[in-house]
Amino acid sequence: MLQFIPQLAEIFVSCGRLTKNYMKKTIGLMVGLLLPFLGFAQQQAQNWHLRSITEDKIYGTGVIKAYAELLKGKTPKTVIVAVLDGGIDTLHEDLRANLWRNVREKPGNLDVDGNGYKGDVLGWNFLGGPDGQVTTEVTEQQRIYFKYRPLFEKRQNEQGLKKKDRQLYQLWLKSKSLLTSKDSVAPVDYRGKQVKDDYMNIKDRFYGNSNLIGDPYFHGTHVAGIIGAVRGNDKGMDGIADAVQLMGIRVVPNGDEYDKDVALGIRYAVDNGAQIINMSFGKKLSPERKMVEDAIKYAEKKGVLLINAAGNDGVNVDSLPHYPTPFYIKGNKKFANMITVGASGATAAALVAPFSNYGDQTVDVFAPGVGIYSTIPGNKYKPLSGTSMATPVVAGIAALIKSYYPQLSAKRIKFIIEQSVTKIDFPVIKPKSKSQKVAMTELCTTGGIVNAYNALQMAAEMTKP
């Protein structure tokens, strides 16, 4: 029955488009109703992404096998992983012990450590204000269209515009083409009313608050658990990395995130010691893309690896970009410190999730992202699907490699993850096509599914004296 999970997920995605547009990008799709009918034990179903193609005939990551055969008796070094998302349930039974803690700071309204963020003991909320936080937002195309409509609505073409204005006009036309009936009214400026920063000034960065709990922290809580829920405590499920601290950074509301918040979230993570950053979000337009690009370059300079979701629209992101993109604004060069991830299922019959974006130039690897069982708020657990779930699988593997082989750089870890994939040498069903089969190399640059066991073997070889 597992092979039918992606098809059910595709139905859920379609329903999500009709009800809440943001769900197709950031909230994974629940498939728990299928678990009782799976052809193997529920425990196996809940942990399938940790299992092995060689041992279990499941296209998991080989994490269980790696712990049993490669890591036994070895002592890891703790790695900090930043979760840029909608927040984390910092009280969750399976996450509390593995949360990052800023030991130089104290709770409250004082900036004890002098980093500009008051009371940032567990992380930071860039969608906060003095008295609360933003939970709801509109789409980026809606914001762009109505912001620039007075300038361009009477224009027939770009003739007579300066170069910068021509680019802005093209962005406006793109936003117009993406509008739906729900986007056709002027947006409420939720962020402007609550956060009250100078949005276009990247140097105005000390805004927000320290509250990571509250809607929509459901998504970020699930992502955090996949990476680093406490292992071996007989509660819920096991995260991938056993020596990890999870830094919560809130930049994603129920709706499209803002480029400035993403950029500052990346910089906050880097400045506070994160070695890996998980980014399970995305959108179709990025008006302040340069802010994000500069932040990614900053992370690269500091040796920080970014793991980025490909998106859940079932489209080729080589031609229809999903932001943040792994490419520089100018030229065709890719960031050397970013891995972009598509979502896969457990069996050969349904290996590529039908909702997953793809692209042999943009998407680097695929990873388990269908029916991934993890933490949700209130000491609960649930299986969800999406590239949002596949991304922390890769972030967890990156943290696992870094913790046991701390001498490896971000670029080396990226290389290892990409070169150690389980190569798929049979045709797979192209997303959204229902039956069209293509080579896996047409969907991602490596043509494979991430494999933690292979990656750790390669890391061991590369670090031999």
One DSSP character per residue, 154-220 reads: T-SS-TT--HHHHHHHHHHHHHHHH--GGGSSPPP-HHHHHT---TT-TT----SBS---STTHHHH
| CB-CB contact of 402 with 379 (8 Å) | no
Question: How many of the other CB atoms lie within 10 Å of CB of 164?
Answer: 8
Q: What pTM does this model have?
A: 0.91
85, 183, 259, 261: which one is catalytic?
Answer: 85
- Angle formed at CA 459 by CA 453 and CA 460, multiple of 5 degrees: 95
Beta-carbon-side half-sphere exposure of residue 68 (alpha carbons within 13 Å): 8
DSSP label at residue 136: B
374, 388, 403, 420: which one is catalytic?
Answer: 388
Question: How many of the other CB atoms lie within 10 Å of CB of 298?
Answer: 15
> What is the phi-psi region of residue 340: left when phi exceeds 0, alpha when psi lies from -120 to 50, beta otherwise?
beta
The string of DSSP letters for 327-372 reads B-SSSSPBPTTEEEEEEE-SSGGG-B-TT--B-TTT--EEEE-SSE
- Is 85 labeled as catalytic in the residue annotation? yes
Residue 382 to residues 39, 92, 294, 338, 377: CA-CA distances in angstroms?
Answer: 19, 14, 36, 28, 10
Task: Give CATH for domain 2-136+201-462.
Answer: 3.40.50.200
| Residue 271 CB partners (closer than 8 Å, separation 6+) | 115
219, 222, 374, 420: which one is catalytic?
Answer: 219
Residue located via tokens 């920063």:
197
pLDDT per residue of the chain (465 residues) written in tens, 0 to 9: 333 343 444 434 433 333 344 444 433 334 433 433 344 445 567 899 999 999 999 999 999 999 999 999 999 999 999 999 999 999 999 999 999 999 999 999 999 999 999 999 999 999 998 778 999 999 999 999 999 999 999 999 999 999 889 999 999 999 999 999 988 899 999 998 899 999 999 999 999 999 999 899 999 999 999 999 999 999 999 999 999 999 999 999 999 999 999 999 999 999 999 999 999 999 999 999 999 999 999 999 999 999 999 999 999 999 999 999 999 999 889 999 999 999 999 999 999 999 999 999 999 999 999 999 999 999 999 999 999 999 999 999 999 999 999 999 999 999 999 999 999 999 999 999 989 999 999 999 999 999 999 999 999 999 999
- Distance between CA 372 and CA 140 in Å, rounded? 29
- Is 219 labeled as catalytic in the residue annotation? yes
Token pair, residue 13, equals 């995605």
Enumerate helices (H) and strands (E) in the chain, giving the number of each. 14, 15
Residue located via tokens 């803690």:
101
